[in-house]
Amino acid sequence: MAYVFDIILDITFVHAVKTYSHITFACEKSRREMDRYLITTNCTDLTDYRDCAESFELGLELQAFAEPQALSGNWRDLLANHKRQLNGFRGDLGLHGAFYDMNSGSRDPEIVKLTRKRYRENLIAAAELEAKYVVIHLNYLGPMKLLGYQADWRERQMEFWSKFIDEIASFGVPMLLENSWEDQPEIVIDLLNEMSSPYLRACLDVAHATIYSKKPFNEWLALFEPYLECCHLNNHDGEQDLHLSLDDGVIDFSDIIRSIDNLPRKPFRCLELPTLSSINTSLEFLRTQSLA
C-alpha cells in the first residue's frame, strides 16, 4: 500500500503524518517514550499497524488468534504469516487468546477439552512470537441469579487451572484472566489468590468493569493490582461495550490512567480499539492530557 511520510521536527514534538490510500493518519508524540503502551489489531495484514506502532514506540496486541475461523482453519499458517511480518519488530507483543464460547468452568467435559485445546494453541503461538502474555476470558455469567452457580463455577475453574498451570508454565508465557461480565472483582481475584502462580495473572478491562459492575473502578484496581499485567483501555456510552476512543464516552480516562500510572509497578496499557482512526484520536488525547 503506497504511503508518504512527512516528518517535521521541532523542539517539543515529533509530528508524523502518514497518508494511506484510504486513511490519513496524523498524530503527535511527546519526546517521552509511550512507556508500555500497546495497540490492538485482528488484521492478518499488519503493515499499517506495525507502521503506527514503530512510529510511536508502541507494542502490538495480536487478536487474530482469538477468531474461531482462524483457530478452526490452519492457524499455523496464520502464525507463520505473523512471524514473517513481525520480523525485526522491537516493540512488546501480546496475544489475545480464544474467548468466543470458551468456558473453562463448563459442566460439559467436551467443552472444557476444546477450551484447553484452544488455549494450548494460543500458548504455542505466543511462545513462537515471543509475546509477553496471552489474555483470555473466564466468561462468568454475571446475570445468572441461580443458587450455587458461583460456588460451583469457582470449583470447576479451580479444577481446570490446577490441571493446566504446569503446561502454561512450560511455555514460559503467562495467561492473563480478563474480567468480562463479572460484576465483582473478587470473582477473578479469588481464583488468582488460590492459584498463586506467576503464570496466571490479571488483565483489567476498564470498560467491562464500568459497564457490567456497580463497584467503583478504584475498588477494581485496588484488588487487581497485585496481579495486574495489562489494562485494556476503551470507552463506552454507559449502555453497550462499544470500544470507543478514550475521549468519546462516559469514562473519564484522565483520572483512570493517572490512577494506573501511580501503581508501584506499571502494567501494559493496551488501546483496545477497532480502527487506526480511533487509535490516532486516543493517542492525541493521551498527549494533550499529558498522560503519555
Q: What is the pLDDT of residues 46-69, one digit of tens each?
A: 999 999 999 999 999 999 999 999
Given a contact cutoff of 8 angstroms between Cβ atoms, the answer to whether 268 and 262 are in contact is no
Q: Is 215 exposed, middle or buried (0-12, 13-18, 19+ CB in 10 A)?
A: middle
Q: pLDDT per position in the chain (292 positions), as tens?
A: 333 233 222 322 333 334 333 333 334 443 344 569 999 999 999 999 999 999 999 999 999 999 999 999 999 999 999 999 999 999 999 999 999 999 999 999 999 999 999 999 999 999 999 999 999 999 999 887 788 899 999 999 999 999 999 999 999 999 999 999 999 999 999 999 999 999 999 999 999 999 999 999 999 999 999 999 999 999 999 999 999 999 999 999 999 999 999 999 999 999 999 999 999 999 999 999 887 7
Task: Enter the pTM of the model.
Answer: 0.88
CA atoms within a 13 Å half-sphere pointing along the CA-CB vector of 34: 28
The grid coordinates of residue 237 equal 456510552
Q: Do 115 and 103 form a contact (C-beta atoms < 8 A)? A: yes
Residue 227 in 3-state DSSP? Answer: helix
Q: Which residue has the cell 517521552?
A: 32
Tell me the per-residue pLDDT of 134-188, one tens digit each, with 9 for 90 and over: 999 999 998 877 888 999 999 999 999 999 999 999 999 999 999 999 999 999 9
Report d(CA 109, CA 236) in Å as an integer: 36
- C-alpha dihedral (207, 196, 99, 225), degrees to nearest 10: 10
| Phi and psi torsions of 47, nearest 5° | -55, -55
- Which domains can be identified in the chain, with CATH numbers? 34-278 (3.20.20.150)
Nine-digit cell string for 197? 502462580
- How far apart are the C-alpha atoms of 269 and 61, rounded to whole Å? 10
- Could you give the count of Cα atoms lying within 13 Å of 81 in the half-sphere of its Cβ? 15
**Which parts of the chain are beta strand (E)?**
4-9, 13-19, 24-30, 37-41, 59-62, 93-96, 134-137, 175-178, 200-205, 228-233, 268-271
Q: 45: burial class by Cβ within 10 Å (0-12, 13-18, 19+)?
A: exposed
Three-state DSSP class for 16?
A: strand
Q: How many CB atoms lie within 10 A of CB 33?
A: 12
